Structure 1
Amino acid sequence: MECSLSRSSFTVESWGVILAIGIVLGYMGLLYFGAMIIPGIGLSGQLMSQLPDNFLDWAHAPGYGILALLLIRGLLCRAWPLTYAISVAAAAALVFGLWTEVFQGSVQGRETSADDLVVDAIGIAVASVLMLSTAVRNRIASTCLWS
């Protein structure tokens, strides 16, 4: 069996998938870059050192929540069932958070923190609950309209 790809074999849907993957990978790169910033060194490090510690501690929640939302939406667009999409996306986002924390420990001036991973998990959980509640609300609204 021979497999060949021609330029015309890419559809609009194919380009949409490529774009979605690019957005997710780009966002993951931003999260990774943020984990590698050394406080007080360079422009981004100077800016980071000006922020209050509480802000930096809780900045993980929206960051990893957005990653979970992007992953969930991507899986839903590929026709995954909602429960599978949420659980797989949440697990993938948490594993990425764990990997980033471990690698952050190897950066001079940074340390690995279990608290950061817990805050990552909180953001992921909030995003998952938001997606689930939106789906339930939409399902209830659609049944009320047809009744």
Structure 2
Amino acid sequence: MTRVSFHFNVPHRLDYACRLLRKATRQNARITVIGPTPVLAELDRALWSFEPTEFIPHVLLRDGQALPERLGATPVCLATTLAGAPHHDVLLNLGAEPPAGFESFERLIEIVSTDDDDRAAARSRWKHYAARGYAIEKHEVPA
């Protein structure tokens, strides 16, 4: 069963996502990030400039685009849909809704900011997962 983790009280979601992705890739994890196109485009830019002395290998897939074979070893895949997702180890959801197909991943991570709308959407996602019997890990991010 998919392990579900919520990371709460994150001041800047994309900065936190970059740090999380850096940590995961250092541990040789393969991650699929799902979210709306504007958020993924912003994350793509942030990953290029996050740390001046290192690079987090990633690929941004356009709507409906399959991962090109030559990029199959890329550890981080940014996508708007899970159809054809190349990695099923870790899923990072940056969308407002529970992603369809999340149960095919070993782990699902939700990042929740301090924004009231984001927190309300996270409560809805939490209820969705809990109603389906998923045990949920809660991580409070220190200020």
> Which bracket does the TM-score occupy, shorter chain normalised?
under 0.3
Question: TM-score normalised to the size of structure 2?
Answer: 0.26
TM-score (norm 1): 0.26
Larger Rg: 1
Question: Which is bigger in relative contact order (C-alpha 8 A, separation at least 6)?
Answer: 2
> Which has more helix, going by share of residues?
1
